[in-house]
Amino acid sequence: MAMNYKIAVFLSLIVVSLGMRVKRREGDQSPPGQCATYKWGGTSGVHWYACCNNCNRSDTSCDGKTYQSASDTKYCANCGIDTKKGNGKSGATYSCGGCQGQERSRKKCLSNLRMLYKIPGLCWAFAKCFQKKCKSQPTESTPAPDMCFNLRCDPGEDVNNCPADCCGNENEKCKWSQSNTCVPKCCSESTCCNDSSRSGGLYSLKIHYVSILSIMMSVVSTRFNV
């Protein structure tokens, strides 16, 4: 029994010394907004690739994409999780400017000047290039939290995108409070919520109607000699 244990330890040391993969915990991933390069993974056991965690970002269109060369196999899952099929050894994480920065980095590393990276066996060169280009990308801005309905018209808010907080700036009588069920549709108008302005508007409408009616009667009288 003791001999079998020693043999198992000896074999595991040989595997590590040869740089081969050992079984690890599945589901490794980088923090939100970060990427990680994985090596000694994939179906070949020597493949290099990168996974990026784009969950809860302003742009999630590229989430789950595998950044690599010389292979079309998908090794990254949603939120930059390294899958069982990938099972690579992760290194340090780095930012890449969100989906736009990741795409720019990918294109630069697969440009005509770097066609050699597409040759099987040089996937490590693409992975190193991707990481280097990512580090030069502008930092992705974190989306501002939604501050609407805090009874304060914050920067970026107006009567259109947050009437509850900003309509009070146009008319104090339209100021929203947490006890209100809704904000009047006319709240962006300075005369909204003003009873006198509404009655005045109705009076103006009546005068306008009478004026039009008088003109029509005048035209009819002239036309038919009434």
Residues 189, 201 within the same domain:
no
| Residue 180 or residue 188, greater confidence | 188
Residues 182, 215 within the same domain:
no
Please write down the HEC assignment for all residues of 113-173: HHHHHHCCCCHHHHHHHHHHHHHCCCCCCCCCCCCCCCCCCCCCCCCCCCHHHHHHHHCHH
Which of 75-89, 136-150, 178-192, 197-211 is most confident? 75-89
Q: Residues 6 or more apart from 48 whose CB is under 8 A from it?
A: 37, 38, 39, 40, 41, 68, 88, 123, 124, 126, 127
DSSP annotation of 48 reads: E
Give dist(CA 73, CA 43) in Å, integer.
9
Looking at residue 214, its pLDDT comes to 60
Residues 33, 123 within the same domain:
yes
Domain that holds residue 27: 20-135
Looking at residue 22, its pLDDT comes to 42
**Structural domain contains residue 1:** no
Average pLDDT for residues 3-19, to the nearest whole number?
42
Give dist(CA 149, CA 162) in Å, integer.
8
Q: For residues 127 and 50, is the Cβ–Cβ distance under 8 A?
A: yes
Looking at residue 61, its pLDDT comes to 93
- Per the structure, how many domains does the chain have? 3
pLDDT in tens, 113-154: 677 777 888 899 999 999 999 999 987 754 445 677 777 887
Q: What is the pTM of this model?
A: 0.53
Give dist(CA 28, CA 44) in Å, integer.
19
Q: For residues 182 and 194, is the Cβ–Cβ distance under 8 A?
A: no
Looking at residue 41, its pLDDT comes to 94
Label residue 205 by pLDDT band (50, 70, 90). Answer: very low
For the chain, give the mean pLDDT: 74
Label residue 85 by pLDDT band (50, 70, 90). Answer: very high
Residues 27, 53 within the same domain:
yes
- Listed residues 135, 163, 183: the one ending a domain: 135
Q: Residues 6 or more apart from 6 whose CB is under 8 A from it?
A: none
Which of 76-90, 132-146, 189-203 is most confident? 76-90
